[in-house]
Amino acid sequence: MGPLVSLLHRDRVHGFVERAVADGAKVRVGGSVPDRVGAYYLPTLITDARQDSQIVQEEVFGPVLVALPFDSDEDGFAAAADTPYGLAASVWTQNLYRANLATRRLRAGTVWVNDHVPIISEMPHGGFGASGFGKDMSVYSLQEYTVVKHVMSDNTGVSKKDWHRTIFDLSRDRH
């Protein structure tokens, strides 16, 4: 795994992990800066985090996964919706019905099924809620820079159609 964008960002990611641990979460793997030059951070798995903790409620943008258990699909959807962010989600299941249900219920700009992180340039990428504005990549990103307007003008006044009589007072125009 490559480095993060900067030492400052690496320290920000590590701060998220430290605050999560101080708040009662457990680091199962990683959670530290490796002994090497650069902005590297070990891939990290966190469990036992509270739903209202910062590590769950905010976007970390680092190699940190918070695993939250849930008792039913509905509980899982409710937990996923209980954050202002919605950049991406992944669903892991062998049940196609549950996968399709999850893709409809999760409020995220990207939902991967049995995968995570591949970004395909032909597909739109961007979040919902507080996770950015609009989409990038793909033809859909052009819609962010386009406002479509249809304008039609008959400057001659000659071409009146029968249905115009229902909208305009055309009694004086009859020949």
Burial class from Cβ neighbours inside 10 Å (0-12, 13-18, 19+) for residue 41 reads: buried
* Mean pLDDT along residues 156-164: 65
Residue type, 36: R
Answer whether residue 96 is part of any domain: yes
- Is residue 49 helix, strand or coil? coil
* Mean pLDDT along residues 52-76: 95
Domain count, the chain: 1
Q: Beta strand 64-66 with 85-86: parallel, antiparallel or unpaired?
A: unpaired
Answer whether residue 173 is part of any domain: no
Answer whether residue 111 is part of any domain: yes
For 127, the domain range is 7-145
Answer whether residue 165 is part of any domain: no
- What pLDDT is attached to residue 172? 57
CA distance 59 to 83: 10
Answer whether residue 163 is part of any domain: no
Answer whether residue 125 is part of any domain: yes
* Mean pLDDT along residues 19-42: 96
Answer whether residue 58 is part of any domain: yes
CATH assignment of the domain containing 22: 3.40.309.10
- What pLDDT is attached to residue 167? 64
Answer whether residue 128 is part of any domain: yes
* Mean pLDDT along residues 128-137: 67
